[in-house]
Structure 1
């Protein structure tokens, strides 16, 4: 592993960790952390060097998300989605689009997000119902996206729609303050991941320009499965691996600090030692699996997609299992929310339902392993 992971861990300790508790308690987007991310121009991690970025790829994306999520899952997730949206422009944007957006992203001026999920299609976000129609010389977008993470805080959103002039889907980059766009601000009160600012985004006759279409007409599905899927799915694996590692480190430290009246520590109890061994093994296995899958994807291995999906599934399970076991070690102190295990457990539960859900991904993995088309 190169030094990007350790560098980002140090960044997170100074610029993400101090705000994590407040983000959860107040269910507020991690503004302070993202101001630091922008200031250090980490928004340009995967922007090509010719546009002022760092020119890095899937491995470094995964390592950075993992490092951020080891302090705050919300920050890791929102940053991951920014990178996914950026990668769509890198891979499919026209020369003019790249020149317009990528230097500003690289310079920390713009934060991007994804507006894909809809109530009518749920976790199958690649089947949008939102429409773009031609009205004279205008293109009008209408519909409602249900869970838009970083809503209100991102500057631009990638919006998936049915194509108005081709078979298939289109992907659009849409500025947040266009006339006709509203956000249902009171809609997000998550069990965990409380700083996500995930809320519905409504489009009411929003006048959009053809120049904001990312890639050729009808290329939206190709973008979803060739760009969004690998960066997003491995990114989620990194987020929930970060949750598992955070819980592991927290409970090990607690078990050493928790003293009884005879001055023995909680970690001196053999049963606790067994639990700690299991927790460490599961959290560390998720880390190595996730990073190895990212490397497989970066190398273009034949089974890279299967590796990426299975790493995400594994991390999702490990996060919940590690947090459950850590809660048992923490006992009443953990249950009373005196240490962070309770928050991490709530964050971990999101792994099962966040689109594409673990059930959907399991089907995709079965198809990938038997040479069937996805979805």
Structure 2
């Protein structure tokens, strides 16, 4: 990934990337197997835990590594070039932790306690928000999961879909409707809690190795302090730079597709040609388009991350977060398509990595924020500025 080298800024970033590269072959092999057999590459997350990857976005004052958003997308793009599903899954840990501690969403007591679990017990957390009846949580639907405070304890029943990383999570940060408060609360639920189970129903074309099964909460009982945050509106309204972990994954997949296509073009030489197909003008044109789209997407993504983290420009970066996801994901889809056109019919073989990249990259269309919401926000801002 020579092009990515230009975005590495310091030795700390390089050290993490070197650690990831030491795991590359194993992560690739397990990812391929998990996709083929629709299983979960648990050992990938054990390996990532061994290099303290789960601590990357936990601030140093809480015992973590203290990396920011720019760093995170650099690492996530690298990891996704090995296996997109593994990167997308662990990316939720990085982004959820990053946002909670940056914005101090929880009480200081909760922040300190959970930081200890991240550092000492390799805790992994993801928000469990999606439900079949609500659609995307970013659109503000009221959850069907309900929480009721009875005799000083929370009683919760419900079901969550798309619970990515379900098998490896130690905690579920779960949204539930609190009738007495007329609002949505988030509860930190340890995975070993009685009544918590995973229903294995993740059977899809894309990101098969994420284990995004349903989370079932069957009359679980939690202490009063399990309520760690109150939602003040649809999460789609929040300005959250940590969501950039999503486009970083699809950029990594596009890079992997590009690398495969270039290797194929340089090594495939049918007997109808004097040399490899890389010498053909129409192949070179497709390679040039791939490079252009990668440059455009990568520069936009990393620029948005840099400006979001810069106090001088932080307040101006709002709709650009959604725009980055839109540009990167749609560019990634086009890049994979071009790579497949270079390789030809062989790219459709189930054993060919391009067939997996093709399926996985399309999952980005269904990760938040949705394209229509991004376009609508940009239109409203333009119209408002035109007055």
- TM-based fold match above 0.5: yes
Aligned to 2:260: 250
Contact 2:99 2:242 (8 Å CA) reproduced: no
Q: Indicate which of 72, 75, 90 corresponds to 1:79.
A: 90
Aligned to 2:216: 202
Aligned to 1:329: 342
Q: Does 1:231 align with 2:251?
A: no
Deviation at 1:178, TM superposition (A): 1.1
Aligned to 1:259: 269
Deviation at 1:331, TM superposition (A): 0.7
Aligned to 1:156: 171
Give the whole-Å Cα distance in 2 for the aligned partners of 1:285 and 1:19: 31
Contact 2:164 2:210 (8 Å CA) reproduced: yes
Give the whole-Å Cα distance in 2 for the aligned partners of 1:257 and 1:11: 30
Deviation at 1:14, TM superposition (A): 2.9
Contact 2:147 2:155 (8 Å CA) reproduced: yes
Q: Indicate which of 51, 54, 59 corresponds to 1:40.
A: 51
Extract unaligned runs of 5+ from structure 2: 1-7
Q: Does 1:191 align with 2:205?
A: yes
Contact 1:323 1:341 (8 Å CA) reproduced: yes
Give the whole-Å Cα distance in 1 for the aligned partners of 2:124 and 2:59: 16
Aligned pairs for 1:51-66 (under 5 A) are 51-66=62-77
Aligned pairs for 1:212-227 (under 5 A) are 212-215=226-229, 218-219=230-231, 221=233, 225-226=237-238
Aligned to 1:12: 20
Give the whole-Å Cα distance in 2 for the aligned partners of 1:263 and 1:337: 29
Q: Does 1:2 align with 2:13?
A: no
Deviation per CA, 1:292-334: give whole Å up to 9, x if none: 1111221253331222110100111011111111111111221
Aligned to 2:132: 119
Aligned to 2:146: 131
SS of structure 1 residue aligned to 2:79: helix
Contact 1:171 1:213 (8 Å CA) reproduced: yes
Q: Does 1:22 align with 2:33?
A: yes
RMSD: 2.2
Aligned pairs for 1:293-332 (under 5 A) are 293-300=304-311, 301=313, 302-332=315-345
Q: How many residues align?
A: 367
SS of structure 1 residue aligned to 2:209: coil
Give the whole-Å Cα distance in 2 for the aligned partners of 1:2 and 1:153: 32
Aligned to 2:285: 274
SS of structure 2 residue aligned to 1:143: strand
Q: Specify whether residues 287 and 8 from structure 1 end up closer, same or farther in structure 2 by C-alpha distance, changes over 3 A only.
A: farther
Give the whole-Å Cα distance in 2 for the aligned partners of 1:200 and 1:318: 30
Give the whole-Å Cα distance in 1 for the aligned partners of 2:232 and 2:168: 24
Give the whole-Å Cα distance in 2 for the aligned partners of 1:18 and 1:220: 43
Structure 1 stretch 79-88 or stretch 262-271: which is displaced more? 79-88
SS of structure 2 residue aligned to 1:195: helix
Deviation at 1:8, TM superposition (A): 4.1
Contact 1:124 1:356 (8 Å CA) reproduced: no
TM-score, scaled relative to structure 2: 0.88
Q: Specify whether residues 240 and 150 from structure 1 end up closer, same or farther in structure 2 by C-alpha distance, changes over 3 A only.
A: same
Q: Does 1:211 align with 2:225?
A: yes
